Structure 1
């Protein structure tokens, strides 16, 4: 997909990878609708863009279906069309086991990560089908194909995103709408802070931050996937390594991950 003059909707556009996607798309000549629950974050993205008039800001909770449905009209009113969506917004859970996590936390993770992605896809798909060329990109996670201890619900939500996107690819394979699923490993973002998770968990993440993929690099890889119309892309050395190891020796891979977490 050629991105110049295309209108792209990016969720999670107020921070991290989402923000980098917005800025990189603008640099490629695209028009962008940045979506986020955090208005201050969106304002910062706008400032970093140089107050680019090709950028519109939309404060929306993607876990609310009606708000997402209304977003379609907001974006088309501002930009005149929509050519693609990138569902990047997501939250994680505290690093605790299934028997310890409460239902409010479970529902929040599922509502944002899976249902938010589903609502965006359902709302924008009829508009995208009318375009001569369009694209849907959904961001899953390494945790969506590989079990990470203490992140079972997050992993389940991202596994749902992965499978739904792969099925969507099959459904739209003969249409003008391309579909990509992105499977990243660790990225140096504020996802724990944005997920309202602090304390020990945030400190653990900070120790290994130098080993993680940068948001800018992740954004560039995701955009290259869209430009090449790839079905699936693993990004980050850890995601690629675990993908291979898990295929051939799943028990060893699970033990290795648990040991790595214990060493943090």
Structure 2
């Protein structure tokens, strides 16, 4: 899908990949409806996105609240007049603890933001997308959505659910104007840990690794390229691409390898 003069909804637009997506979409001449729970962060994204050929408008919304999400399409339409695509990018990780040590409140929050938020936004906007000559849904899963990461089991389960949800949408919408892409980022240099309420190092300082986290700007660029090319799946980063291949060859070996890496990082 060509992005110029299109209106794209981006969740998690206040920081990280979502902020970069918003900026790069505006630079491509797309109008951007940035969605985030943090109004101040949305304002910062708006400042960074303009002036540009496209326009940016922030919409403070809690994507875990279905009533607020259901009201969002009308708000976006009132400002931009149409909606041509959504990028479900918002996400949080869990505390780095085994499942029995997590509270149900922590578990439910991770599922609500990563999985149910994606469902709510998708269901709210699909009726509008089906009326367009061409439209696109991009859902951001994770390397953890196809590979088990100890200490992030609930996060991985949520992102695995996003993976299959997106692939199912692809099949259901195959004969419509709506294209569907699922994204699997590896380590990206963002503030996801801080935004998840965790006092842990950012990805780009969390130990030595053969695979260094890539910049959020590069991740956003690869997502938009995949959107423009109507790719079925986009795997981002050398770590994600390597583990994607390894997991296909030997799931158990890949799981054991990640377990050893995480044990050495977290002690």
Range class of TM-score, shorter chain: over 0.9
Q: 1:11 — aligned with what? A: 11
**C-alpha distance in 2, partners of 1:56/1:195?**
24
**C-alpha distance in 1, partners of 2:189/2:263?**
20
Matched, 1:207 2:206: yes
The alpha carbon displacement at 1:141 in A equals 0.4
Q: Residues 62 and 11 from structure 1, CA distance in 2 versus in 1: closer, same or farther, beyond 3 angstroms?
A: same
Q: 2:261 — aligned with what? A: 260
The TM-score normalised by the length of structure 1 is 0.96
Q: 2:36 — aligned with what? A: 36
Question: Residues 145-191 of structure 1, C-alpha deviation per residue, up to 9 Å, x if partnerless?
Answer: 11000101000000000000000000000110000000111111000
The alpha carbon displacement at 1:263 in A equals 2.4
**C-alpha distance in 2, partners of 1:65/1:219?**
27
Map 1:163-182 to 2 at 5 A: 163-182=164-183
RMSD, aligned CA: 1.4
Q: Which is further off, 252-261 or 78-87?
A: 252-261
**C-alpha distance in 2, partners of 1:253/1:247?**
9
Q: Which is further off, 42-51 or 206-215?
A: 206-215
2:98–2:151 contact (8 Å) kept in structure 1:
yes
Q: Residues 204 and 230 from structure 1, CA distance in 2 versus in 1: closer, same or farther, beyond 3 angstroms?
A: closer
Please list every run of 5 or more consecutive structure 2 residues that lacks an aligned counterpart in the other structure: none
**C-alpha distance in 2, partners of 1:230/1:203?**
30
The TM-score normalised by the length of structure 2 is 0.95
Please list every run of 5 or more consecutive structure 1 residues that lacks an aligned counterpart in the other structure: none
Q: Which is further off, 2-11 or 254-263?
A: 254-263
Q: 2:91 — aligned with what? A: 90
- Name the SS of the counterpart of 1:211 in structure 2: coil
Aligned length: 262
- Name the SS of the counterpart of 2:123 in structure 1: helix
The alpha carbon displacement at 1:260 in A equals 1.4
Map 1:50-129 to 2 at 5 A: 50=50, 54-129=55-130
- Name the SS of the counterpart of 2:214 in structure 1: coil
